[in-house]
Chains A and B, each alone.
Chain A
């Protein structure tokens, strides 16, 4: 007789599609997000194939423009923004705080359906010919000149935004009201702090992009001229509205990954985090300051130089909390008891690549330098270092770390280490040459390019091939592990945290008895020896 857990408690499609269990909803998200990840990856593959040669000879310019647009739209809105919060956040936050579910389970399910609906709109746009405005939808091209399915794509983004808003709302209320007895704010796992900060951004920022894309759709459909220069409209106003959300959005993408890294680094050093409150407050600082820097995307468009200076200054300031975190994570490993299991390999990769990605952002924050680098491959390399080298490494690391808890199975560690290595090598080979190409002047979104950039592009495409293998492998062995993997105990890693005190996989109500928390999370050493360096 098998113990009842959330997976076998209720069978049949209806019990999954109408579930209120946050763990099942997390798996629904996992399936759909994985689909969109590979769709976005397919578009990336097409881009890199075209860029093997300087001439635009694999596809027409219009098709290429659609490839990079849809790569961006799918990856940003349908993969990166939901990924860690909707999969790992949904699954773990109630368990980490000793609750039975999120505050609003039905809204949680609704958020998944909204995500799917938005995804269907975007898929429709893709399948009926694509959209070619760039994921940034800049006007007046998107409202007046583009000859593609802008409205459908814009509506897809609009709809999916509500999924993000509802997730953030759910997390905020959950963390405020559903903590177990004794679980004060400063005993919360840093994963929860990270998601709380992320949720603040989700609820404050997403509505602005919602109204912005709605206005783009309205302008295109009804010929209202809000951003149309011929009617006195201002195309740069669109940029301000767009980036007011889309800059904080990048912090939605990275903060959860930072939360994952905090957890992994502690677990695989068997040591509690160095500088807990500094990391917790840094998450909040990033969320707040992140709302004040959007103008650094507009330095070259003729924004007032004094406004530019303020944005530049704040863009440098927002890097400091991230730097604090990197130093704290590194200090956590010092005098730890370190094991290089695959989650830790991903965390290490994150530490190096996020550092490079974050520091290259500073290049772009320096106004005089941004003039040269804006809209070149340097920018492309910078944000891929953060979003792929940072956020996706965090996502994969977290998936590996919590896979035994989620599925009750162990994955093959040898293959996982190999895949992590492929990802790290492939990633660097793909994106480092793009820094060089960018400084040399290669603009982004170019279908064809001058010959002198070819070597760098070939290297990049080669790297992308290696990287894609690194991404496919986990799909394969994770699936395999579900059916044939070794069964996992409650705590396969010897880690601390409420999630490791309940069976793998957990029962539907998470805990048989509501836990009562008496001390801070993640204390490994006996409390007698607590000391300050």
Chain B
């Protein structure tokens, strides 16, 4: 049982080895200094033990040289740790372009994942190895945290906003998925598995499941059923901004400020439309807070994304080109 005892999880992502690198460095420093202090203390206690009742210690008050030494050296060591930590974090927090996107919603007490082609999973996530995967995550209710120890990635999932987590799996296998932010009764039951697969196997898995609508298709249906199409189309009586090419573009607001139309902006436009009014439009859009779930919001976002022609975004969101809408 003890011969093969692991002290760290498998390194199953491209980042894992980098994270472990800092870890081992810091373990070495910790071990060194702890043992140093322990050894010195024990050594001094023995060497300078009191030999007779009235003995007192030497009258030494201090040493500026020593103080500087043990201030400067620890400071330099900590700065190395700081810089290294920042470097690894920086590389881990920005997903590369072209990453495969998966939407994730956490709710008490399960994880729901939706792939872009429609496949849904509960408490499981299948991903291909060798390709960056980007999770766009929201919460239905309280704080949760999506944690895959083998990949060394974690991100909190916060109601009212989106957090992004990305990784590149490198080793096929089955890895723990945990919720890492206390969320109530079944917090320790909000766990599952991440399956990293060879690309061909992953394709096979994608094809084999019963796919429901892709998020974009589901979003298009919602766009109709929720009545969005009534205003967000050419020739509407109460004209709203047209959404072709809006995703990823820079939108100018009534206040003069500009904002990039990303997932968070689209979400806010649906649940709190008065927060940012597009220049040249009236503030008349009603809120859909409470009328659509987090999952449905992600589907609507997927639909809006699908309206952006690839490589052609950057146009003004409000300019109405003749088109599908």
**B180 partner, pick from A132, A236, A375, beta carbons under 8 A:** A375
Task: Report if A15 contacts B (CB, 8 A).
Answer: no
Q: How far is A276 from B54 in the complex, measured between Cα atoms in Å?
A: 24
Task: Report if B186 contacts A (CB, 8 A).
Answer: yes
- Interchain CB contact under 8 A, A235 and B159: yes
- Interchain CB contact under 8 A, B142 and A366: no
Which chain B residues lie closer than 8 Å to A367 at the CB level? Answer: 85-86, 88-89
**Chain B: CB-nearest residue to A326:** B37
- Interchain CB contact under 8 A, A300 and B155: yes
Which chain A residues lie closer than 8 Å to B18 at the CB level? Answer: 368
Task: Report if A41 contacts B (CB, 8 A).
Answer: no
Main secondary structure, interface of A, reads: helix
From known contacts A323-B70, A337-B55, infer whether A145 and B141 are also in contact, taking CB-CB under 8 Å. Answer: yes
Task: Tell me, rounded to whole Å, the shortest Cβ–Cβ distance linking B204 to chain A.
Answer: 28
B 143-156 to A, binary, CB cutoff 8 A, 1 in contact else 0: 10101011011111
Which chain A residues lie closer than 8 Å to B70 at the CB level? Answer: 323-324, 327
**Chain B: CB-nearest residue to A301:** B156
From known contacts A270-B56, A337-B57, A365-B82, infer whether A352 and B34 are also in contact, taking CB-CB under 8 Å. Answer: yes
Task: Tell me, rounded to whole Å, the shortest Cβ–Cβ distance linking B43 to chain A.
Answer: 9
- Interchain CB contact under 8 A, B57 and A532: no
Task: Report if A439 contacts B (CB, 8 A).
Answer: yes
Which chain A residues lie closer than 8 Å to B183 at the CB level? Answer: 141
Q: How far is A335 from B59 in the complex, measured between Cα atoms in Å?
A: 9
- Interchain CB contact under 8 A, A533 and B6: no
Q: How far is A447 from B34 in the complex, measured between Cα atoms in Å?
A: 32
**Chain B: CB-nearest residue to A367:** B89
Which chain B residues lie closer than 8 Å to A359 at the CB level? Answer: 26, 29-30, 33-34
Which chain A residues lie closer than 8 Å to B318 at the CB level? Answer: none
**B38 partner, pick from A278, A300, A352, A439, beta carbons under 8 A:** A352
- Interchain CB contact under 8 A, A317 and B49: no
**Chain A: CB-nearest residue to B7:** A436
Task: Report if A59 contacts B (CB, 8 A).
Answer: no
Task: Tell me, rounded to whole Å, the shortest Cβ–Cβ distance linking B258 to chain A.
Answer: 19
**Chain A: CB-nearest residue to B175:** A441
From known contacts A270-B57, A371-B92, infer whether A366 and B81 are also in contact, taking CB-CB under 8 Å. Answer: yes
Task: Tell me, rounded to whole Å, the shortest Cβ–Cβ distance linking B183 to chain A.
Answer: 6
Task: Report if A272 contacts B (CB, 8 A).
Answer: yes
User: A residues 413-472 with Cβ under 8 Å of B?
Assistant: 436, 439-441, 443-450, 455
Q: How far is A276 from B178 in the complex, measured between Cα atoms in Å?
A: 48
Stretch of B72-80, B241-249, B278-286, B302-310 with 4 or more beta carbons under 8 angstroms from chain A: B72-80
Q: How far is A141 from B140 in the complex, measured between Cα atoms in Å?
A: 12
**Chain B: CB-nearest residue to A233:** B160
- Interchain CB contact under 8 A, B86 and A440: no
From known contacts A235-B143, A302-B156, A330-B41, infer whether A338 and B49 are also in contact, taking CB-CB under 8 Å. Answer: yes
Which chain A residues lie closer than 8 Å to B149 at the CB level? Answer: 372, 440-441
- Interchain CB contact under 8 A, A439 and B48: no
From known contacts A352-B38, A443-B178, infer whether A274 and B62 are also in contact, taking CB-CB under 8 Å. Answer: yes
**Chain A: CB-nearest residue to B55:** A337
Which chain B residues lie closer than 8 Å to A12 at the CB level? Answer: none
- Interchain CB contact under 8 A, A368 and B158: no
Q: How far is A65 from B66 in the complex, measured between Cα atoms in Å?
A: 48
Which chain A residues lie closer than 8 Å to B154 at the CB level? Answer: 300, 371-372, 374-375
- Interchain CB contact under 8 A, A141 and B182: yes
**A338 partner, pick from B48, B88, B93, beta carbons under 8 A:** B48
Task: Report if B199 contacts A (CB, 8 A).
Answer: no
Task: Report if B255 contacts A (CB, 8 A).
Answer: no
Task: Tell me, rounded to whole Å, the shortest Cβ–Cβ distance linking A377 to chain B.
Answer: 11
Stretch of A82-90, A118-126, A149-157, A523-531 with 4 or more beta carbons under 8 angstroms from chain B: A523-531
Task: Report if A269 contacts B (CB, 8 A).
Answer: yes
**Chain A: CB-nearest residue to B85:** A366
Stretch of A91-99, A170-178, A305-313, A480-488 with 4 or more beta carbons under 8 angstroms from chain B: A305-313
Which chain B residues lie closer than 8 Å to A524 at the CB level? Answer: 56-57, 59
Task: Report if A369 contacts B (CB, 8 A).
Answer: yes
- Interchain CB contact under 8 A, A440 and B8: yes
Task: Report if A292 contacts B (CB, 8 A).
Answer: no
User: B residues 272-293 with Cβ under 8 Å of A?
Assistant: 272, 289-290
Which chain B residues lie closer than 8 Å to A145 at the CB level? Answer: 108, 141-142, 184
B 94-127 to A, binary, CB cutoff 8 A, 1 in contact else 0: 0000000000000010000000000000000000
- Interchain CB contact under 8 A, A230 and B88: no
- Interchain CB contact under 8 A, B50 and A338: yes
Which chain A residues lie closer than 8 Å to B187 at the CB level? Answer: 61, 65, 445-447
Which chain B residues lie closer than 8 Å to A526 at the CB level? Answer: 59
User: B residues 167-218 with Cβ under 8 Å of A?
Assistant: 176, 178-189, 191
User: A residues 261-312 with Cβ under 8 Å of B?
Assistant: 269-272, 274-278, 299-302, 305, 308-309, 312
**Chain A: CB-nearest residue to B64:** A532
**Chain A: CB-nearest residue to B271:** A230
Which chain A residues lie closer than 8 Å to B75 at the CB level? Answer: 317, 320
- Interchain CB contact under 8 A, B158 and A533: no
- Interchain CB contact under 8 A, B48 and A447: no
Task: Report if B163 contacts A (CB, 8 A).
Answer: yes
Task: Tell me, rounded to whole Å, the shortest Cβ–Cβ distance linking A214 to chain B.
Answer: 21
Which chain A residues lie closer than 8 Å to B321 at the CB level? Answer: none
User: A residues 332-387 with Cβ under 8 Å of B?
Assistant: 333-340, 348, 351-352, 355-356, 359-360, 362-363, 365-372, 374-376
Task: Tell me, rounded to whole Å, the shortest Cβ–Cβ distance linking A211 to chain B.
Answer: 21
From known contacts A368-B19, A375-B154, infer whether A134 and B9 are also in contact, taking CB-CB under 8 Å. Answer: no
Task: Report if B161 contacts A (CB, 8 A).
Answer: yes
Which chain A residues lie closer than 8 Å to B236 at the CB level? Answer: none
- B9, B59, B91 pick with most chain A CB within 10 angstroms: B59
Which chain B residues lie closer than 8 Å to A529 at the CB level? Answer: 58-59
- Interchain CB contact under 8 A, B89 and A138: no
Q: How far is A326 from B41 in the complex, measured between Cα atoms in Å?
A: 11
**Chain B: CB-nearest residue to A496:** B56
Task: Report if A479 contacts B (CB, 8 A).
Answer: no
Task: Tell me, rounded to whole Å, the shortest Cβ–Cβ distance linking A267 to chain B.
Answer: 11
From known contacts A270-B57, A300-B145, A348-B41, infer whether A369 and B88 are also in contact, taking CB-CB under 8 Å. Answer: yes
Task: Tell me, rounded to whole Å, the shortest Cβ–Cβ distance linking A286 to chain B.
Answer: 14
Task: Tell me, rounded to whole Å, the shortest Cβ–Cβ distance linking A149 to chain B.
Answer: 15
- Interchain CB contact under 8 A, A333 and B184: no
- Interchain CB contact under 8 A, B1 and A455: yes
- Interchain CB contact under 8 A, B74 and A323: yes
**Chain A: CB-nearest residue to B44:** A333
Which chain A residues lie closer than 8 Å to B85 at the CB level? Answer: 312, 365-370
- Interchain CB contact under 8 A, B88 and A450: no
Q: How far is A526 from B56 in the complex, measured between Cα atoms in Å?
A: 9
- Interchain CB contact under 8 A, B59 and A530: yes
Which chain B residues lie closer than 8 Å to A375 at the CB level? Answer: 145, 147, 154, 180-181
15 contacts between A and B (CB under 8 A): A61-B187, A140-B159, A141-B183, A229-B159, A235-B158, A316-B78, A335-B48, A337-B50, A338-B45, A348-B41, A352-B41, A369-B88, A440-B149, A455-B1, A531-B59
Which 7 residue pairs across A and B have the least CB separation, nearest first? A441-B149, A368-B88, A271-B57, A366-B85, A229-B160, A525-B59, A336-B57
**Which residues of B pack against A, CB within 8 Å?**
1, 5-9, 18-19, 22-23, 26, 29-30, 33-34, 37-38, 40-41, 44-45, 48-51, 53-63, 66-67, 70-71, 74-75, 78-79, 81-82, 84-93, 108, 141-143, 145, 147, 149-150, 152-156, 158-161, 163, 176, 178-189, 191, 272, 289-290
Starting from the known contacts A443-B180, A532-B63, 11 additional A-B residue pairs (CB-CB under 8 Å) come to A65-B185, A276-B62, A330-B44, A333-B40, A337-B49, A368-B87, A372-B19, A441-B147, A444-B182, A445-B187, A448-B189
